[in-house]
Structure 1
Amino acid sequence: MPRHIAYGITLLRVGLGVMLIAHSVLLKYFVYTLPGTAQYFESIGLPGPLAYVVFWMEAVAGVMLLLGIGTRWVSLAMMPILLGATWAHIGNGWVFSNPNGGWEYPLYLTVLAGAQALLGSGAFALRFSPEERREALLAA
């Protein structure tokens, strides 16, 4: 794989990781607070404790993506959460600038996670599986 492609995959991985951290730590923890996020989950018919699970999954997945650890599996694991976020915003309309946010941005993040799962880690990743190490050697 040519280096410029590996670098492009890395940009995708890092961007997705940063966005997951931003939505968990900055938004759910600092802006809405975890109890406030749990209240929101309950208001749309989801169990409140699920908010804490989503918070931790987004935060841990974001860090793992930044480091390039288990990129394919982490991206796949995040797809149901991101589809859930799409569902949560579906009634708000298309544009995320609508009150309570629209659904196109969570759907876009879902597509990015799917692409990341297909593409792998790219360059500058901590690699643990033999498949990822082989991909890194081919990219060099």
Structure 2
Amino acid sequence: MSVAASQKTDLALLLLRVSLGLMTFAHGFILKVMTFTPAGTAQFFVSVGYPAAFAYLVILAEVLGGLALIAGVFTRLAAVGLIPILLGATALHAGNGWVFNAPNGGWEYPAFWTVTLVVQALLGPGAYSVGRLLPTSLPGLVRA
């Protein structure tokens, strides 16, 4: 791959990673913590048949996973860790139909978000990431 093509790929990975991270962080912190509150989010989870404890795990995963994606630290692990959350959201919205403006939202958005996380997990963080600056000599450290 040429240098110019490699730079374009790394820029594309930066854009994908940061946009996924911002969306994930915003969904976890702004929506679930600031808007609905953790207790309100837990009540919603119970109302749709999920255990209340899952709400707190989802909030933690979305906030930390979003920050990890933004920084490009543990990118693959963060992306893979968020996939089950988006699969759960896709399943939750499956009965609402395809389109996002369907009552209670459609399933296409969380399904697409799942696919983008799979792509990010497969490709890794790219060159423009904080994870690339971490030392490699620490045992068990997974930078990408």
TM over 0.5: yes
Partner of 2:46: 42
Counterpart AA for 2:71:
L
**What is the alpha-carbon distance in structure 1 between the residues aligned to residue 115 and residue 66 of structure 2?**
16
The counterpart of 1:104, out of the listed 104, 108, 114, is 108
Partner of 2:59: 55
Question: Is 1:92 aligned to 2:96, yes or no?
Answer: yes
Partner of 2:14: 10
Look up the SS of the partner of 2:52 in the other structure: coil
**What is the alpha-carbon distance in structure 1 between the residues aligned to residue 135 and residue 112 of structure 2?**
28
Counterpart AA for 1:89:
H
* Cα pair distance change 1:79/1:129, threshold 3 Å: farther
Give the C-alpha shift of residue 97 in structure 1.
2.0
* Cα pair distance change 1:129/1:87, threshold 3 Å: farther
Counterpart AA for 2:110:
P
Structure 2 gaps of 5+ residues are 137-141
**What is the alpha-carbon distance in structure 2 between the residues aligned to residue 13 and residue 129 of structure 1?**
21
Give the percent of matched residue pairs that are identical in Structure 1 and Structure 2.
Answer: 47
**What is the alpha-carbon distance in structure 2 between the residues aligned to residue 7 and residue 129 of structure 1?**
23
How many aligned positions are there? 134
For residues 69-95 of structure 1, what are the alpha-carbon distances to aligned partners after superposition, in whole Å with 9 as ceiling and x for unaligned? 011111111111110111111122111
Counterpart AA for 1:75:
A
Greater shift in the superposed pair: 26-35 or 66-75: 26-35
Counterpart AA for 2:69:
L
Cα RMSD (Å) of the superposition? 2.0
Moved over 6 A (4+): none
Within a 5 Å distance, the mapping from 1:68-79 to structure 2 comes to 68-79=72-83
Partner of 2:124: 120
**What is the alpha-carbon distance in structure 1 between the residues aligned to residue 87 and residue 96 of structure 2?**
15
